[in-house]
Amino acid sequence: MIAGMQQVNVGIVGLGNVGSGTLTLLAENAAQIALKLGFPLRVTAVCSRSVEAKKLPEGLGPVHRTTDWREIVSHPEVDIVAELVGGTSVAAEIINGAIEHKKSVVTANKELMASCGSEIWDRAIRAGINLAMEASVAGGIPIHAVLREGISGDRVVALYGILNGTSNYILTEMEKRGAPLDEVLAEAHRLGYAEADPSADIDGFDARSKLAILAALAFGEKITPSDIFVEGIRRISPMDFQYAHKLGHTIRLICAARQTSDGLILSVRPALIGLETIIAGVQGAYNAVWVKGRYGQDTFYYGRGAGPLPTGVAVVSDLMRVAREIRYGHPERVSPFAHERLGEYKPRSVTSEKCAYYLRFRVDDRPGIIAALAGILAEQHISLEAVLQLPSETKSSLPFVITVEPTCEHTIREAVQKMSHLDFLREPPLALPMEPPL
Ligand code: HSE
């Protein structure tokens, strides 16, 4: 340790899953952290609604406890504020309060960074403080550092990710043991992966916020999450995995950002991907990011996407990065958001994408079903690839699958729309892209 180098003090707001994991690491790993930094990182104050009832890990030393975040952001001894409350309204006040008091900020807040990260960064730069947000995307994977430092000399052409641990856990448990969605979602809650609002995980919104942040960092565009096409995993059932396997595929919720000559195409959606692809091997609550660079080509990053300790590692590593700058001096800063173009960026519509599709039907069996469906596909000039029906004991709500050759998504949507009126269908057809360009 450098003799006499003064400690850097941290104030933590929010003692939920991520806050507790962060405190555990700061207590248990304090000696290693101090050796790596050359000075200690100390928790000076913590804030939570139920702070008095919280048991803090041993070894932190005296810690001021408060239920008022304003005390943390204005505390004269706090150098860095860790905002770990999540959500957008109070979290924004906490971050802005810290910036006003010229305190650097570490945040795990994906919604806030996705919706107004660029504005917050501009404010932080004007105030001359640092903002770090590694924990906001794929907790256990240091993907911000990769995009901002590790491969910043490259030019990203595509980025694919599995960015929601809960939905990946659900899909892979469905795949392994045929478990229904609700049962596995409840397990993900117990394991601390799932969002309080299940829709954020299941309907793809959590993954969409993360894709908006990564795409902004990778492509230098200011991306608005609501402009990203999103479709969740609600309609996927264990039976879809049986069909996908027959076709040599599996199903994952794929976040994709691809540069084309007409602009970026961004989407979060379940897709059939070849069993031999590296991303098909991502199981359970793990996340992965696959980046394709024009020069460096493919790199792949894999790790836990959630959980108190993996996300805690991201927060603590950010605290260390910011603390180093505080003690050793910081470089001029450039916002990681929208460095390429100013203003909002409208991605190109996914409907112009062309790929093969998996169409899954549930029908009340009777003669003429395939003829009716094939008739609609023929009207739309869509060419069939395969028709697949696994043995089933029932004649009602009978599943079967048609795969079609590469077709524009808008044509598929028109066909699905026409099919929805057929009276033998028990539910609207499920259309999933197959082998999207990875
Ligand atoms: N609910 C999120 C997930 C937690 O399952 O990935 C991490 O953002």
Domains with residue ranges and CATH for the chain: 8-141+308-337 (3.40.50.720), 143-304 (3.30.360.10), 353-434 (3.30.70.260)
| Alpha-carbon 286 to chain mean position | 11
* DSSP structure class, residue 336: S
Q: From ligand 1's centre to the CA of 161, what distance in Å?
A: 13
pLDDT digits (tens, 9 = 90+) for 37-89: 999 999 999 999 999 989 999 999 999 999 999 999 999 999 999 999 999 99
343: left (phi over 0), alpha (psi -120 to 50) or beta: left
Ligand 1 site, residue 306, Cβ cutoff 6 A = yes
The tokens describing 437, both together, are 């360009």
pLDDT at 334: 77
pLDDT at 197: 87
Three-state SS string over 261-280 comes to CCEEEEEEEEEEEECCCHHH
pLDDT digits (tens, 9 = 90+) for 213-263: 999 999 998 899 999 999 999 999 999 999 999 999 999 999 999 998 888
pLDDT at 411: 96
CB 15 within 8 A of CB 46: yes
H/E segment holding residue 254? strand 249-260
At 35, the amino acid letter reads L
Residue numbers annotated as active site? 210
| Sequence-ordered list of residues with C-beta below 8 angstroms from that of 35, at least 6 positions apart, any chain | 1
CB 222 within 8 A of CB 342: yes
- In this prediction the pTM is 0.93
Q: From ligand 1's centre to the CA of 269, what distance in Å?
A: 16
pLDDT at 391: 83
pLDDT at 332: 63
Count other C-beta atoms under 10 Å from residue 332's C-beta.
5
CB 180 within 8 A of CB 191: no
Q: From ligand 1's centre to the CA of 106, what distance in Å?
A: 18
pLDDT at 1: 47
| Sequence-ordered list of residues with C-beta below 8 angstroms from that of 9, at least 6 positions apart, any chain | 42, 43, 44, 77, 78, 79, 80
CA dihedral angle for residue 198, residue 202, residue 205, residue 210, rounded to 10 degrees: 100
Give every residue of the chain whose pLDDT is below 70, as ranges.
Answer: 1-4, 331-332, 338-344, 436-438
Task: At 341, give phi and psi (nearest 5°).
Answer: -145, 145
- Identify the residue whose C-alpha is closest to ligand 1 atom 8: 306
Ligand 1 site, residue 195, Cβ cutoff 6 A = yes
The tokens describing 160, both together, are 């694919």
CA of 207, closest atom in ligand 1: 6
SS3 state of residue 376: helix
